[in-house]
Structure 1
Amino acid sequence: MKLWGGRFTKPTNQLVDEYTASIRFDQKLAAFDIQGSLAHVAMLAKCEIISQKDADTIAKGLKIVAEKIENEEAELTEANEDIHMNVEKLLIDEVGAVGGKLHTGRSRNDQVALDMRLYLRDALVTITELLGQLQQALYTQAQQNLDTVLPGYTHLQRAQPVLFAHHMMAYVFMFQRDMERIIDSWKRVNRSPLGAGALAGTSFVIDRHYVAEALAFDGVTENSLDSVSDRDFVVEFLADASLIITHLSRLSEELVQWSSAEFDFIELDDAFCTGSSMMPQKKNPDVPELVRGKTGRVVGHLMGMLTTLKGLPLAYNKDMQEDKEGMFDTVETLKGALALFAPMIETMHVKKEKMYEAVAKDYSNATDLADYLVVKNIPFREAHAIVGQTVLYSIEQQKYLLDLTLAEFKQFSDAIEADIYDVLAPKSVVNARNVAGGTAKNRVEEQLKQAEALLEANHTWIKEKSTILQKLTLDK
C-alpha cells in the first residue's frame, strides 16, 4: 500500500510506477530532504503540534536514515516514487507509526520546492568557489605576462596588437559578471517555501519563519500558490550556467586555436591533453574541446525548463518533475568543467616569442600609421586611404610596414618622418592605447588592481556562505 493509497481501490499499473517515479534521479536530494525534515519536525514540536517526545524520536530516526542512505545501506525503490516518500517509508520502518507524524502540515509540493532550494544553494557556493579559482588562474597568467604582446583579432583576422595580459583580463572580467549574477541570484534562491502546503497553506498553526531561520534562509516566500509552482530560481540558475559555459566555450575555442601548429601561441600541459590511437605524434586539446561541446547540453537544459513551464497553470503540476534532471546535470557539467579549467590555465605554457613574432609579421600597426598622419593634421579619412595604399604596396613588395624605407613611406605622404619606426614598433603600438580599459601596460596594471579587489570581495562572500552551510551540516 502506498503512503497516499487510502483513496484508491487498486494498485497503480507497474508501467505507471516506472514512468512517474523520480527516485532514479531525485535521490540526489536525500541529504537536503532530511535536513529540511529535521527543521520541520523541530518546528512541529515548538508549535506543540506534536509532542517533544515524538519529535525527538523522529529526529533520531531521520539521522539513522540519513546515515544509511549515505552509506548505501538503505533500499530506495520506485514503488515509493520519490525521495520524500522513500525517506518517510524508511523512517517509519525505523521508528514505527510515529514516523507518519513527520508529514503533518506539509505537502510534497512545498517539500520538493524546499529541497531544490537547499540543493541549489549548496551548488551555488561550490560553483562560485570553482569560478573564483579560474579567475585567479587567469589573473596569475596576466601578472606573469605583462610584457607579452599578442595579435588581437576581429573576424579572426589580425587587427591590432594587445598584451596577452590584457587578453587574460578580458576573461577575468567576463567571469566576474558570471560571479555577480550567481551572487545576486542567491537572494531569490534563499527563501523558504515550506509551509505553503500543496498550494493553499495549512490549517495547522505552524511557524514558517522558525523553519526558515533554522535552515539559514533569508526569509519565507510570500504566496503559497507561487511558492509551490515557482521554478524561476531554477531557470535563473540554468541561464547563469549557460552564460558561464558559453564563456568557457569561447575561451576553449581560443585555446584550441592557439595550441595548433598554425598559431603555436601556447602549449597545454600534458596532464590536460590526450593522444591518438593511430597517430603517435598527436597531442589533442580534448578538455577545451569537450567543454565547448557540452555547452549545447547546458543551453538545452535551459530551453527545456522554459518550455516545460510555459503552459503550466497554478499551482503544482506533475510536469514540474522535469525540473530536476536538467538542473542536476547542469550542476555536475559546470562543476566538472570549472574544476578542470583552473589548473589547465594555471599550467599553460605561453610562447612569448611566437606571439611577438606573429605581431612583428603582420599589418596590425597600420592604424597607428593613420593616427600618426592625423597628428600631422591630415584628416583621418584621408589618412586611412594613404595607409591603405601603403599596405597594398607593402603586400605587393612582400614587406611589412617596418621593413619599408623612409623613401618608400614618403611615396605616400611627405608628412612621414624617421620617428615612424618608433611609432610602429609593436610595444609602442600597445602602449599608445593609454585609455581607461585599454591595452597599454599601465592600463592593464590598473585592471589587475581592480580585479584584485573584486576577487577578494568574491572570496569573502564565498567564505561567508560556506561557513553558514557548513554549520548547518554540523548541526544536523
Structure 2
Amino acid sequence: MSSDENISRERLEAAPGKVYTETIQEPTYEFKREHYFSPLIETNKAWAVMLVDTGIIDEDVGAQLLDAVADLEEAGPEELGEYNPNLEYFYSHMEYQLNKRIGEEVAGNINIGRTRPEPLARIVERERLLDVLDRVVSLRATLLDLAEREIKTVMPQWTHYQHAQVSTVAHYLLGIADSLERDTQRLMNAYDTVNECTLGCGALAGTSYDLDRQLIADLLGFDGYKENTIDCVSGGDHHMEPASAMANMMVTLSRFCQDLYTWHTWEFDFVEISDEYSGSSSLMPQKKNPYPFEYVRGRAAYATAYMSSVHETLHNTNFQDIKDVEENAVHPLFDAFDEVDRSLKLLDGTVGSAEFNAEQMEELAAEGFASCSELAAKIDRQTDLTYRTAHRIVGDLVGRALERGLDATEVDADLVNESATEITGDMLDIDDEFVQSALDPREFVEAHDIPGGPAPREVRRMIQDRRASLDEDSVYINRRRETLIDASDKLADRVETIRS
C-alpha cells in the first residue's frame, strides 16, 4: 500500500479482506458514489470556505483546495474509480483524488476538525422530500379540480361496506384531499427535522478548532446546526420522520385506490380511467384492467415495509455514531422515496383521466335506501315523535319494502304509515311528496348543508378553502427551494472569491 493510499487505516495492518470487500465495502462505496458525490463536493467547498474565513487555514491553501475540488467536480463521480480496498471508504477515495491533484500537505487540511459522517444523507433527503411534496401538491390540485367538476354528482357512500348515506363525488374527493393535506404537513415537518446541519460535531465531542458552525449551515442551505454534538452523530429521527410521513400518506393512497378499484368494476360501473393508464388481457379480449390502482396499493406496502425497516434498523442500537444510523437506515429510506415518487406521479395522471358515471351512481343512491336517515329526521321535525321513534318507524318500513321487493323509489306514505301504526299505534300526517322528497338523493345532499357536509354550497366553500391551503403549501415548498438555491449561489460566490 502506498503512503498516498494509506488515508484511513493507520491503526490496521491490512486492507479490508475479499469477503468484507465484496459484501460490505464495495456495495456501500457504489451506493455513496451514486448518491453522495455532489453533496460531498458541496460540503468540501463549504468546509474549505469556513476554514479560510475563520483563519484556520491560509487563503492560498484554501484556494488550492477549492481548485482541486472544482477539478474533481468537473471530472464527475467516475473519476473516483472502482472501489479500492486500500482506500476503504467513499470519503477516502475523494480525498485520495484531492491528494493526487495538490498533494497531501494541502489536501489533508480538508478534514481539519471533521469526521466522516457528513450531512450527506440530509442533503439528499431534503431534495427528495421537496420532490415528493411537489407531487403531493400536484395530486391535491388534481383532486380539487375533479371535485369542482363533480360537485353535483350524487353517489351512495358506505359504512362497514354497507349502503349508508348519500354524498357526492366532490365530497368524497375532498375527504381524500384533506387527508393528503395533513400528509403534506407531516412531510414539511419531516423536512424541518432533516434540514439541520451536523458539520462541526467531530467524532462526537466537536473539536478544539474555532469553527463557525453557523457559517457552514448557511453555506449549505440548512436552517441551522444541530447543537449537541453527540446527537449529531447518533440521532436517527431524520431518517425515521420522512419514512413515517411517506408511509402514512401511502396508506391513504392505497385506501383511495381500493375504492376506485372497486368502483371501476362492471358491477359498480361508477368510474372509468383513460385507456392510457389501463392494461389489457392476453386471453380475454373484453378486459380493461385498472392496473395503476394495483401498482399503487403494492407500493404502499413497500413504503410501510421500508418505514418498518428504518425503524427496526435503529431500534436496539447504541446512541452513537454507528453504521445503523450512518448507512443501514438510509437504504430503505431512499427506496421509499423512489416508490413514493413513482406512485404519486402515476396516480396523479390516472385520477386526472377519470370519468364518473353520474347516472349510474344516482340511480343506486336513489334505490338503495341511503336517504332513509333524512326521512327519519323529517318525521322527527314534523311530529311530536322522538328521533329514536322515527328511526324505528323507518327501519320497519325498510324491512317491509324489502320483503315486498320494493326499492326506495317505490316507498310511499301508505307504507310509512303501516310502519308508524305498527310502532306507535297511530298514523302520521304525511303524504307521498313528503316521503319522496325525503328519499330523493339530490334533496338529501342539499339538505345536509352543515360545515363539512356534501351540500354544493358547502363543498364549494371547502374547495376554495383547500385551494388557499394548497397555495400556502406551495409557497413553503418554493421558499425552501429558493433557500437552497440562494445558499448554493452564496457558496459559489465565496468559492470564486477565494480561488481568484
Residue 85 of structure 1 pairs with residue 92 of structure 2: yes
Residue 52 of structure 1 pairs with residue 72 of structure 2: no
Residue 121 of structure 1 pairs with residue 126 of structure 2: yes
Partner of 1:277, secondary structure, is coil
User: 1:108 aligns to what?
Assistant: 116
Residue 341 of structure 1 pairs with residue 382 of structure 2: no
User: 2:479 aligns to what?
Assistant: 464
Q: Distance in 1 between matches of 2:151 and 2:111?
A: 61
How far does the alpha carbon of each residue in 1:106-130 deviate from its partner, in whole angstroms, 9 at most, with x for none?
1012x1xx11111111112111111
Select between 117-126 and 79-88 the one with higher mean Cα deviation.
Answer: 79-88
Question: Scaled by the length of structure 1, what TM-score is found?
Answer: 0.95
Partner of 2:10, secondary structure, is helix
Partner of 1:389, secondary structure, is helix
Q: Distance in 2 between matches of 1:9 and 1:173?
A: 60
User: 1:214 aligns to what?
Assistant: 219
Give the C-alpha shift of residue 425 in structure 1: 0.7
Q: Are 2:314 and 2:329, in contact at CA under 8 Å, matched by a contact in 1?
A: no
Q: Are 1:256 and 1:288, in contact at CA under 8 Å, matched by a contact in 2?
A: yes
Question: CA separation of 1:19/1:159 partners in 2, compared to 1, >3 Å: closer, same or farther?
Answer: same
For 2:15, the aligned partner's letter is: P
How far does the alpha carbon of each residue in 1:412-444 deviate from its partner, in whole angstroms, 9 at most, with x for none?
232232322112111111122121111111111
For 1:6, the aligned partner's letter is: E
User: 2:363 aligns to what?
Assistant: 357
Count of matched residue positions in the alignment of Structure 1 and Structure 2: 472
Give the C-alpha shift of residue 407 in structure 1: 2.3
Partner of 1:411, secondary structure, is helix
How far does the alpha carbon of each residue in 1:333-361 deviate from its partner, in whole angstroms, 9 at most, with x for none?
11111111212211211211121122122
Residue 185 of structure 1 pairs with residue 165 of structure 2: no
Q: Distance in 2 between matches of 1:180 and 1:133?
A: 15
How far does the alpha carbon of each residue in 1:20-54 deviate from its partner, in whole angstroms, 9 at most, with x for none?
32123223122112111111111111122222222
User: 2:423 aligns to what?
Assistant: none
User: 1:6 aligns to what?
Assistant: 10
For 1:107, the aligned partner's letter is: T
Question: CA separation of 1:227/1:359 partners in 2, compared to 1, >3 Å: closer, same or farther?
Answer: same
Q: Are 2:165 and 2:371, in contact at CA under 8 Å, matched by a contact in 1?
A: yes
- Over aligned residues, Cα RMSD in angstroms? 1.7
Question: CA separation of 1:241/1:223 partners in 2, compared to 1, >3 Å: closer, same or farther?
Answer: same
Q: Are 1:26 and 1:324, in contact at CA under 8 Å, matched by a contact in 2?
A: no
Q: Distance in 2 between matches of 1:318 and 1:208?
A: 24
Give the C-alpha shift of residue 57 in structure 1: 2.1
Give the C-alpha shift of residue 76 in structure 1: 4.4
User: 2:300 aligns to what?
Assistant: 295
Q: Distance in 2 between matches of 1:62 and 1:282?
A: 57
Q: Distance in 2 between matches of 1:330 and 1:93?
A: 38
Select between 293-302 and 171-180 the one with higher mean Cα deviation.
Answer: 293-302
For 1:273, the aligned partner's letter is: S
User: 2:415 aligns to what?
Assistant: 408
User: 2:32 aligns to what?
Assistant: 26
Match for 1:283 among 288, 292, 303? 288
For 1:61, the aligned partner's letter is: A
Give the C-alpha shift of residue 187 in structure 1: 2.5
Q: Distance in 2 between matches of 1:424 and 1:148?
A: 16
Q: Distance in 2 between matches of 1:276 and 1:69?
A: 45
Q: Are 1:45 and 1:52, in contact at CA under 8 Å, matched by a contact in 2?
A: yes
Question: CA separation of 1:351/1:89 partners in 2, compared to 1, >3 Å: closer, same or farther?
Answer: farther
Runs of 5+ consecutive residues of structure 1 not aligned to the other structure: none
Residue 17 of structure 1 pairs with residue 27 of structure 2: no
Partner of 2:457, secondary structure, is helix
Question: CA separation of 1:95/1:266 partners in 2, compared to 1, >3 Å: closer, same or farther?
Answer: farther
For 1:382, the aligned partner's letter is: T
Partner of 2:329, secondary structure, is helix
For 2:92, the aligned partner's letter is: M
User: 1:258 aligns to what?
Assistant: 263
Give the C-alpha shift of residue 256 in structure 1: 0.9
Q: Are 1:151 and 1:358, in contact at CA under 8 Å, matched by a contact in 2?
A: yes
Q: Distance in 1 between matches of 2:372 and 2:160?
A: 17
Q: Are 1:76 and 1:86, in contact at CA under 8 Å, matched by a contact in 2?
A: no
Question: CA separation of 1:262/1:449 partners in 2, compared to 1, >3 Å: closer, same or farther?
Answer: same
Give the C-alpha shift of residue 73 in structure 1: 5.4
Q: Are 2:412 and 2:436, in contact at CA under 8 Å, matched by a contact in 1?
A: no
Q: What pairs with 1:358-373 in structure 2 (closer than 5 Å)?
A: 358-373=364-379
Residue 134 of structure 1 pairs with residue 142 of structure 2: no
Q: Are 1:23 and 1:78, in contact at CA under 8 Å, matched by a contact in 2?
A: no
Runs of 5+ consecutive residues of structure 2 not aligned to the other structure: 421-426, 493-500
Q: Distance in 1 between matches of 2:88 and 2:169?
A: 54
Match for 1:145 among 122, 142, 150? 150
For 1:16, the aligned partner's letter is: Y
Q: Distance in 2 between matches of 1:81 and 1:250?
A: 46
Q: Distance in 2 between matches of 1:217 and 1:167?
A: 39
Partner of 1:26, secondary structure, is helix
For 1:23, the aligned partner's letter is: Y
Q: Distance in 1 between matches of 2:257 and 2:32?
A: 32
